[in-house]
Amino acid sequence: MRNKFKLIKVIITCSFLISCSSNGDFDKSTFVKTTSTAVGGYFGYQLGDGDLFATTIGSTLGAVFGNTLTEFINQDDYYFFKKETLRVLEINDNNAYVNSGYWRNPKSGNKGVVKIRGYYGSPECRLIENIYVLGNQASNTFGAACREKSGQWAMMK
């Protein structure tokens, strides 16, 4: 019982410290990563009887678990749309006849079609249409992607 109280206290303290030190960019990813690192460190500390090495190993394992969990949590519809859009843009550079792609979120079942609609501006930018299908309802949204100096495509918000 006493160990559970300590664990809760560690989590609350870490959450408080993170929220106080963030500059408004605090999100669920930061919370999951930090909390899993703190919990891993706590368990390492408890299992290693206060040994610094065991605490470090526990924190590291917690951070790895937190990154994996965060990646899974962040796989929303936009994640799959963006991934497919960037893939289509790269293919389009080498083969101008390929200008569309299909994405599907296996967690939500939502899907969509990405189409490159036009070129504009400097640096090299593309107008992107996303036909988003939610259930039986389809809707269109438009966005843009531009090539950065590094050569990578970046979605514009």
Mean pLDDT score, 93-113:
82
Judge contact between 114 and 129, C-beta under 8 A: yes
Q: Which pLDDT does position 3 carry in this prediction?
A: 62
Confidence band for 56, pLDDT divided at 50, 70 and 90? confident
Looking at 73, 108, 124, which one is the last position of a domain? 73
Task: Give the pLDDT of residue 123.
Answer: 60
Residue 136 clears pLDDT 60, i.e. is over it: yes
Other Cβ atoms closer than 10 A to 114: 26
What average pLDDT does range 84-108 have in this prediction?
Answer: 82
Let me know whether 50 and 32 are in one domain. yes
Amino acid 20: pLDDT: 53
> Confidence band (pLDDT; 50, 70, 90) for 52?
confident
Instruction: Give the domain extent around 87.
Output: 77-156
Residues 81 and 114 in one domain: yes
pTM to 2 decimals? 0.55
Q: Which of 47, 73, 99 is a domain's end point? A: 73
User: Across the beta sheet with 111-120, what order do the strands follow?
Assistant: 100-104, 111-120, 125-134, 137-147, 153-156
The answer on 82 and 13 residing in a single domain is no
Q: What is the count of structural domains for the chain?
A: 2
Q: Are residues 67 and 83 in the same domain?
A: no
Residues 30 and 92 in one domain: no
How far apart are alpha carbons 19 and 145 in whole angstroms?
33
Contact by Cβ (8 Å): 13, 42: no
